[in-house]
Structure 1
């Protein structure tokens, strides 16, 4: 098997940092899980870059994925989360971009698996708007996948992963536990029975005003500044695995 993951920070693995500072993430874990299921190493590439909008994912990243030699046997695609955080998001355009990727993979004979990201909206500023947009994109992507006979892994509707224990301090990216849960959902959805990862259900205490102020200062204000300057957290970054690397069973 030759597996390529394309997308943004969700697929890059942001929030699942290893001791050496590199990021792992659910896609890396899926590659290891596929190696275990297949009884041998999987060739793996991860072209995802944090901050990317859907259009460069389904053009630049998909171009690179389909130019790999030998050709991938499977690609996972998630995107649109960064688009959802911008004003004037056009859902129809996002669906059309995704459908274009579906057709390109079908023409190339490559299996495409679509994913929705987890739902972080409960603890985000303007969370109700984010959930409404995310729900609409998830429903449209599910319908698209059904129409084309594709696998669709619906992480957005997973209630368990909405709990605070699965998220990083920025409340927008999954932590290691969250990435482990997504990996288990993906492997199960691909036909490799996997028990979904669950963390301790201990209750979460209320946040103090000081903690909320610190959160806005450390995460929200820098994000707003980047938007005002037309910058992205992924500017100047390259993907972590731009060519095939062998992955053994985890």
Structure 2
């Protein structure tokens, strides 16, 4: 028996857009876990459609303001959404106001009748860069669990996915999942949906070097540009359009 999904819409930021999983032949030159899920869902389903509205760097206000209404208009029967990490990483954030906005957005998406899947944020406890914000992430995640329950959403608890503490799942920038991380997330999503598939985990990337030169290259190539964007109010997604603003079929 095939699965019940015919119209899948993915919302969010770089996590859902697919950053860290390069694919030069695809829009915005990335693939990502959502594409991988859509490829499986579209097999042997001629009328299947997939839209990906996610754009890297988006905070919750932009995700809600730019993506929720178009998603609702697409009349989906499956919606995935991941948002919040870009807000939490800012120097100051009002988590209560943030989650109130997110709560309203999930309510609008749930009202479509679609199967709704949301994520908690990843546990940064193993990161030398972000572990000082671990308490903020933990509080945000508990609030997300609460609103997911309220709207009947399925939740993928990224905080508890301890396998992602292995750096082999991550891109060299240490901020985004690499191909192995996206593949594993696609498997996790399909398993949650109860959709049979033949996806297998990819070999993990080689761990980053720990020498001074490696650290300096990471600072110059990833950390410094990230900090500069936050100090100047810019986003890595400035000027980008959604990868698939209307339904497409992959594969």
TM-score by shorter chain over 0.5: yes
Residue pairs, 1:1-250, within 5 angstroms: 1-20=6-25, 22-36=29-43, 39-40=45-46, 42-68=48-74, 71-119=75-123, 122-125=126-129, 127-192=130-195, 197-198=200-201, 204=207, 207-248=210-251
Cα distance in 1 for residues equivalent to 2:204 and 2:166: 9
- Matched residue pairs, number? 244
- CA distance 1:26–1:233, change in 2 (3 Å): same
- Between the aligned partners of 1:221 and 1:74, the Cα distance in structure 2 is 37
- CA deviation after TM superposition for structure 1 residue 91, in Å: 1.6
Contact 1:45-1:245 within 8 A present in 2 as well = yes
Root mean square deviation, CA, Å: 2.4
Q: Look up the match of 2:3.
A: none
How far is 1:196 from its partner? 8.2
| Conserved? CA contact 1:124–1:171, under 8 Å | no
1:14/1:124 Cα in 2 relative to 1: closer, same or farther (>3 Å)?
Answer: farther
Cα–Cα, structure 1 residues 130 and 41, in superposed 2: closer, same or farther, change >3 Å? farther
Structure 1 position 198, deviation (Å): 4.3
Q: CA deviation at 1:124?
A: 4.7
Q: Structure 2-normalised TM-score?
A: 0.87
Structure 1 residues 204 and 8, CA gap change in structure 2 (3 angstroms): closer
Q: Distance in 2 between matches of 1:18 and 1:59?
A: 28
TM-score (norm 1): 0.88
Pick closer, same or farther for the CA change 1:55–1:140 going to 2, 3 Å: same
C-alpha contact (below 8 Å) 2:20/2:176 kept by paired residues: yes
